[in-house]
Structure 1
């Protein structure tokens, strides 16, 4: 089975749960194991929250949106969150955030919840793309197959 979708969302906090619910609904309908659904939905929420917080700049006319794309293809799910912010001057530090800080845990969480993570610049543009994937496990009785 192959399913994919892409959303163009405003950089607003309200967009994060929308993307999360769409991903959860897609995976649950396709019959993905609930634990995998949860892991990927948390990782997506963190990536979207980063795009909302850091994914733009103060330049007039700059994009106030970001894009989320999800691919469920065979045994793997890949998610990409792309923004038009300033990007990273250097690759993000893979070390965990200090426990006494409130911010800086999102990328660490994504790395823990996904099987493979790539964080890089948007080709030919400003911004960042966070992509991650996870091998899927399936429920025994997916609703998509019984509908």
Structure 2
């Protein structure tokens, strides 16, 4: 089961209760438990409020919601001036006397969401991404759809003990999902039993293919499910070096977040950055993972 909402809204405080009610109606129809819906309502309000505070007059902002099985992912995106995530963290921890309301909002989001990510792009805008695990009530529509889909996926994975052509066709579909960033379906297959480090005839793993093709969210989802960000292919290339070569900054950030070593491999990600003159990546490596 996958449900998607994509809303473009005016920079107006009145838009917040509107989007909140719309999402809550969808969650209620699926039978999500009331306490979970309340958490989502509050953290969505804080995320939208944060964007409205930082957006420029006249800017629109976007709310994207994906409900996939028992996961709800909310992304709130604006096109304003952005914000400093480090400063926001300090405010949330009480390190700043000013903008206390903003700091409390950050703390609320971190407390209620299972995962929170902030991205800020000066002069271009900001992204707040929230994830919440859903619980469905007994006999609910969402619960039944999730059970049916999970059983179907598990059966599909188990049935891959069939012919070689069946296996090859199924694996090809999975690799295509990684390349094209079909995060939800691919994550569902991995959850149902597909090995997270599945690789093709060249030794390219699902994570490697996603990284090389700029699919940052897919890379993160695979890493969260046990995919090894350090596994090299048959040519000795690692995902981080591939992302540097393709100049994919979001993928590079994600791989550093999940522990990829920029100094490992031949050539390493650092070697690749030097070779192609990507000095910004070298600065990130020194800051995020200084050579020991």
Q: Looking at secondary structure, tell me which structure has more strand per residue.
A: 1
User: What does 1:55-70 align with in structure 2 at a 5 Å threshold?
Assistant: 55-56=55-56, 64-70=59-65
Question: How many Å apart are 1:126 and its aligned residue?
Answer: 0.6
Summarize deviations over 1:100-123 as a string: whole Å, max 9, x none.
97512111101100000000035x
Are residues 3 and 131 of structure 1, via their aligned partners in 2, closer, same or farther at CA, if it must alter by over 3 Å? same
Name the CA shift for 1:77/1:125 in 2 (closer, same or farther; >3 Å). Answer: farther
Residue pair 2:79, 2:126 contacting (<8 A) in 1 also: yes
Structure ID, larger Rg: 2
Of 88, 93, 98, which residue of structure 1 is paired with 2:89?
93
The CA deviation string for residues 34-72 of structure 1, in whole angstroms up to 9 with x for no partner, is 111110110000111111121226xxxxx5110001111
> Which of the two has greater helix per residue?
2
Unaligned runs of 5+ in 2: 145-292
Match of 1:138 among 136, 139, 142: 136
| TM superposition shift of 1:125 | 7.1
Compute the displacement of 1:90 (Å): 5.0
Higher relative contact order (CA 8 A, sep 6+): 1
Question: Helix, strand or coil for the counterpart of 2:93?
Answer: coil
CA distance in 2 between counterparts of 1:73 and 1:90 reads: 27
- 8 Å Cα contact 2:47/2:109 also seen in 1: yes
On the 8 A contact 2:59/2:80 being kept in 1, the answer is no
TM-score (norm 2): 0.44
Name structure 1 gaps, 5 residues minimum: 58-62
- The alignment's C-alpha RMSD in Å is 2.6
C-alpha deviation, 1:142, in angstroms = 2.2
**Count of aligned positions:** 140
Deviation track 1:78-110 (CA, whole Å, cap 9, x = no partner) reads 000000111124533154347997512111101
**SS of structure 1 residue aligned to 2:119:** strand
Distance in 2, matches of 1:56 and 1:131, equals 20
- Residue in 2 that maps onto 1:73: 68
